[in-house]
Amino acid sequence: MLTDRTVPFFSGAVSLHRDRDILASLVRDIATSGRFVNAATVAELEQAVMAYTGARHAVACNSASDALILMLTAAGIGPGDEVIVPAYTFFATASSVVHAGAEPVFADVLPDSYALDPESVRNAIGPRTKAIVAVHLFHQTADLHALRTLADEHGLDFFEDSAEAIGMRAGGRHAGLWGRAGVLSFFPTKTLGALGDGGMLITDDEQLARQALRLRQDVPLDAAEPSAVACLDSGCDELQAAVLLTRLRTLDTDIARRAELAERYTARLAPLAPLVTTPVRAHAHEPSNLVWYVYLIETERRDELARFLADNGVGTEIYYPRTLAEQPCFRSLPGARLPVPVADAAARRAIALPLYPDLTEAQVDRVCDLLHEFHGEAR
Ligand SMILES: *Cc1c(COP(=O)(O)O)cnc(C)c1O
């Protein structure tokens, strides 16, 4: 029995219960339609996401991880090329570069956003650099102006791993559309989550979108025509697309609910500064647009805190326990040699607290009470 004293890191149980009739009818419709992957519902989802984000083109696929591979490969990134990515991000930002046949180069991040530090990127640019991939982590965009300007100055492609960034806009433009292309993740815990995997490439670049579509799925396997490209065959399920279409309708309400809960965390945790802090960038030249994916905090006693919260029934996640430059599969690359002190500190200090629309105020209070107790402070 769940009570307000138990706080799972993620739960969609309340929403699932609320939407059970709609979801049951979607399953029935798709099951009887005989079309299960990349058909009419997926096309409808692509149109709906284009309308929501303002993108001219969208290519749905199996995950944001696949969308990153499609994006880089469709843009012609491949063997011999280097791609600059943050040292502190989800694994797929860098593994997609490897799957495209290129090499990741890890640059440091800024302490107030965990997004690429333009100065560190500048130091990472070399003769083989082809592109920069900015990542928008947790609740805010990277410094898009500075990073895109830097890419333009050096004649590099600019991409965004906007997997966590649906709903985020900077300067009136949706995340993912500041450079050649971006990606969205519909992993169940993400701001717009499916009931399984799903992802999408978004872009205003028609050529890139066409090539990504060919790479996603060229001619069907049983077709007589030979295939021109070694495609990924990354399908988006009709069922997931139907779930996402339903959830897209309440996305802005869900984002507002996330903001309400985040503000509650911020107010309740403010007295714990500087022991507990949340990185938030002063959005100097952009209207602030925070979209809260998780509630991230930094604290020196991170691992001890994670155990204490777990012992008290509160789920947390360590995003991310080590920098990508330290991952065994990347650390021997020449691109893993730059100093990344801010990423190192984040990997030691950052921990994500539960934040999702189904969370209650009482649950947020419970987490905050425990944080106060842990840090031995009077409330
Ligand atoms: C979740 C995430 C991904 C991968 O998304 P999937 O859809 O699970 O493949 C990539 N990059 C970042 C920054 C993410 O948070």
Specify the CATH number for the domain of residue 65. 3.40.640.10
| Separation between Cα atoms, residue 251 and residue 241, nearest integer Å | 14
Looking only at the bridges linking them, the beta strands covering 57-61 and 82-86 are unpaired
Q: Which atom of ligand 1 is nearest to the CA of 63?
A: 7
- Whether residues 92 and 240 share a domain: the answer is yes
Q: What is the pLDDT of residue 287?
A: 53
| Separation between Cα atoms, residue 352 and residue 292, nearest integer Å | 11
Q: How many residues does the chain have?
A: 379
CB of residue 234 inside a 6 A radius of ligand 1: no
| Separation between Cα atoms, residue 289 and residue 133, nearest integer Å | 20
- Whether residues 59 and 205 share a domain: the answer is yes
Report the Cα 76 to chain-centroid distance in Å. 23
Q: What is the DSSP string of 42-101?
A: HHHHHHHHHHHH--SEEEEES-HHHHHHHHHHHTT--TT-EEEEESSS-HHHHHHHHHTT
pTM as predicted: 0.95
- Whether residues 149 and 22 share a domain: the answer is yes
Task: For residue 135, give the nearest of 171, 168, 102 by alpha carbon.
Answer: 168
Q: Which of 62, 66, 164, 201 to mutate to test the pocket of ligand 1 (most atoms within 8 A of CB)?
A: 164
The active-site residue, picked from 139, 148, 174, 190, is 190
Six-digit token pair at 337? 């040699």
- 8 within some domain: no
Specify the CATH number for the domain of residue 341. 3.90.1150.10
Q: Which atom of ligand 1 is nearest to the CA of 62?
A: 7
- Whether residues 332 and 353 share a domain: the answer is yes
130 is catalytic: no
- 50 within some domain: yes
- Whether residues 243 and 271 share a domain: the answer is no
Q: What is the DSSP string of 151-167?
A: HHHTT-EEEEE-TT-TT
CB of residue 347 inside a 6 A radius of ligand 1: no
Q: What is the pLDDT of residue 221?
A: 55
CB of residue 201 inside a 6 A radius of ligand 1: no
Which of 232, 248, 264 delimits the end of a domain?
A: 248
Average pLDDT over residues 76-92: 97
Looking only at the bridges linking them, the beta strands covering 295-298 and 350-353 are antiparallel
- 312 within some domain: yes
- Whether residues 76 and 225 share a domain: the answer is yes
Computed over every residue of the chain, the mean pLDDT equals 93
CB of residue 88 inside a 6 A radius of ligand 1: no
CB of residue 65 inside a 6 A radius of ligand 1: yes
- Whether residues 199 and 312 share a domain: the answer is no
| Separation between Cα atoms, residue 201 and residue 210, nearest integer Å | 11
- 4 within some domain: no
Q: How far does the centroid of ligand 1 lie from the alpha carbon of residue 241, in Å? A: 17
- Whether residues 327 and 199 share a domain: the answer is no
| Separation between Cα atoms, residue 172 and residue 99, nearest integer Å | 33
Average pLDDT over residues 178-182: 97
Task: For residue 212, give the nearest of 77, 79, 59 by alpha carbon.
Answer: 59
| Separation between Cα atoms, residue 201 and residue 321, nearest integer Å | 27
Q: Which of 89, 90, 320 to mutate to test the pocket of ligand 1 (most atoms within 8 A of CB)?
A: 90
| Residues of the domain holding 54 | 13-248
Number of Cβ within 10 Å of residue 168's Cβ equals: 22
Residue 222 pLDDT > 80, yes or no?
no
In the chain, how many domains are there? 2
167 residue type, one letter: G
- 2 within some domain: no
| Separation between Cα atoms, residue 228 and residue 243, nearest integer Å | 33
Q: What is the DSSP string of 252-300?
A: HHHHHHHHHHHHHHHHHHGGGTTTSB------TTS------SSEEEE-T
Phi and psi based region of residue 268 (left: phi greater than 0; alpha: psi -120 to 50; beta: remaining): alpha
- Whether residues 255 and 243 share a domain: the answer is no
- Whether residues 133 and 34 share a domain: the answer is yes
Which of 248, 277, 306 delimits the end of a domain?
A: 248
Structure confidence by residue, pLDDT tens digits, 100-112:
999 999 999 999 9
Number of Cβ within 10 Å of residue 47's Cβ equals: 12
CB 218 within 8 A of CB 227: yes
- 179 within some domain: yes
- Whether residues 121 and 203 share a domain: the answer is yes
- 7 within some domain: no
Structure confidence by residue, pLDDT tens digits, 275-319:
999 999 876 555 557 899 999 999 999 999 999 999 999 999 999
The better pLDDT of the pair 13, 226 is held by 13
Structure confidence by residue, pLDDT tens digits, 25-69:
999 999 999 999 999 999 999 999 999 999 999 999 999 999 999
Q: How far does the centroid of ligand 1 lie from the alpha carbon of residue 36, in Å? A: 23
- 29 within some domain: yes
| Separation between Cα atoms, residue 173 and residue 169, nearest integer Å | 5
Q: How far does the centroid of ligand 1 lie from the alpha carbon of residue 184, in Å? A: 8
Q: How far does the centroid of ligand 1 lie from the alpha carbon of residue 225, in Å? A: 34
Average pLDDT over residues 169-192: 96
| Separation between Cα atoms, residue 1 and residue 28, nearest integer Å | 30
CB 296 within 8 A of CB 279: yes
Q: Residue 173 forms beta bridges with which residues?
A: 170
CB of residue 90 inside a 6 A radius of ligand 1: yes
Q: How far does the centroid of ligand 1 lie from the alpha carbon of residue 63, in Å? A: 8
Structure confidence by residue, pLDDT tens digits, 129-149:
999 999 999 999 999 999 999
- Whether residues 28 and 161 share a domain: the answer is yes
Average pLDDT over residues 160-170: 96
Which of 248, 267, 300 delimits the end of a domain?
A: 248
The better pLDDT of the pair 285, 187 is held by 187
